[in-house]
Structure 1
């Protein structure tokens, strides 16, 4: 229960509620792995087995965080088709800033896993009793046994059997290892919270807009994200229905306007805020810079004005957030 309370406190302090949900789901998965799946082998595989359970799930969660982040695919889609643009250092800096924001979000789950696993102590105990560092073994066993015998005894400590060491000595060693694990866990939690606070303060201090406008922008992007999903689904359904009717009924197609590729590319790029133009998204900028032609169609007023400047600040953290289904 103490571990759950710790993670709840971490989740409550996150600026994004989604971070807290991810952290809670992560600790639930760690509890299942620790109590049901994890079984220390108590032999020479202790170190490898313990480190695999401590780090490999964290790596998997990190990769999953990148995969489920919409910014990852907005940043990478079509990247190979625009290699010439990547040579400009300003664009590289902007891309690096967006990638750093993606990494900050993706690191929530793996750091939560490692922190809770260290507070639990099972993985660390198993790994450290399997280490072959002679100085570490001598520190734990002293001069009671030879280093070789000490190492063999250490292997079996997590299993509570197969050792001739006194119960008090064994418990002393395990308590030392558990204390070290929990110290590392709390240090990791403290570093996470401190980093989160510093990043939030830097982002707010360098914000080009005021607090209330930032709040309005967050609400706008949330509504636009929800509506674009439903609108694109409806438009795709209408287009598919028209095409199928034409195919099966052998009738001429009704006129359904779909934006051209260049327009899709303009609204699919990652947004960069420009203090000279008060636009809240790529779609907002596209609509405001469109003009109506003689046949009633909309076209871009100026290609130059529709493109974001390379030296603009990178997109704020909440813009373009969300998951994507592959």
Structure 2
């Protein structure tokens, strides 16, 4: 067991990084599976709506789930003060944005959703003949007739993906740098949260015990009153 102790200590110290890496792998794999199995561009004027739904819909869902799980896993910030609560809320929101950003980056680098959406957007915005519009919306289904335009769509998607990656890296780095605490502060927050939770649990147990005792006394009193009434009626 002592042989594996350094590895266990390493995984315990880097559990957040390992968790984010696993989340990234699962998100990228899910995006690829989604694009292969579920996505089928209609090749009509609804291309834009269909492509943007697959691009932004799962990202919005991941953001909601991230806010739910990240918010539920953090200690109660109501008793930490306004400044600490705001900082904690900011960190929760940033952590919740990781999965949606990974989804958007993976989707844009792949380009499948963006190609479908871009063909529909161009068809709705260009003042072209009906034949040209029909040819444009059918590009995702027949790439041989417009390979250059499809490559242009994919290049635009990948450029936007790299802009998003760079912007997200800058934002996450700034938040990490601004919220970085030293060992003393982390130890203080850890012990403070544990002490607060223990005292609150003790208070709740004591309060619940007193309320239960009062309720039992009330039930006993009501029972005695009913017994008195029944005896008087039987007499």
- TM class by shorter chain equals 0.5 to 0.7
Distance 1:283 1:64 in 2: 26
Task: List gaps (5 residues or longer) in structure 2.
Answer: 1-14, 204-235
| Equivalent residue pairs, number | 188
Pairing of 1:1-326 with structure 2 (within 5 A):
16-71=17-72, 75=76, 91-131=81-121, 137=126, 146-160=128-142, 167=145, 170-204=146-180, 207=181, 209-210=182-183, 213=184, 217=187, 273=189, 280-284=191-195
Are the structure 2 counterparts of residues 31 and 131 from structure 1 closer, same or farther at C-alpha, using a change threshold of 3 Å?
same
DSSP-derived class of the 2:121 partner = coil
Paired with 1:38 and 1:21, the residues of 2 have a C-alpha distance of 24
Distance change in 2, residues 1:15/1:192 (3 Å): farther
How many angstroms apart in 2 are the aligned matches of 1:38 and 1:133?
A: 20
**Separation of aligned partners in 2, 1:214 and 1:185:** 37
**Equivalent pair of 1:72/1:102 in contact (CA under 8 Å):** no
Unaligned runs of 5+ in 1: 1-13, 80-84, 139-145, 218-271, 274-278, 290-297, 300-326
Distance 1:23 1:197, change over 3 A: same
Q: Classify 1:214/1:130 alpha carbon distance in 2 versus 1 (closer, same or farther; 3 Å).
A: same
Task: Mark the structure with the bigger radius of gyration.
Answer: 2
Query: 2-side partners of 1:117 and 1:48: how far apart?
Result: 16
Q: Distance in 1 between matches of 2:192 and 2:27?
A: 32
Greater percentage in helix: 2
Deviation at 1:281, TM superposition (A): 3.6
| SS of alignment partner, residue 120 of structure 2 | coil
CA-CA distance at 1:148 after TM superposition: 3.7
Aligned residues of 1:66 and 1:72 also touching (Cα < 8 A)? no
**What TM-score does the superposition give when structure 2 sets the normalisation length?**
0.68
TM-score when normalising by structure 1: 0.50
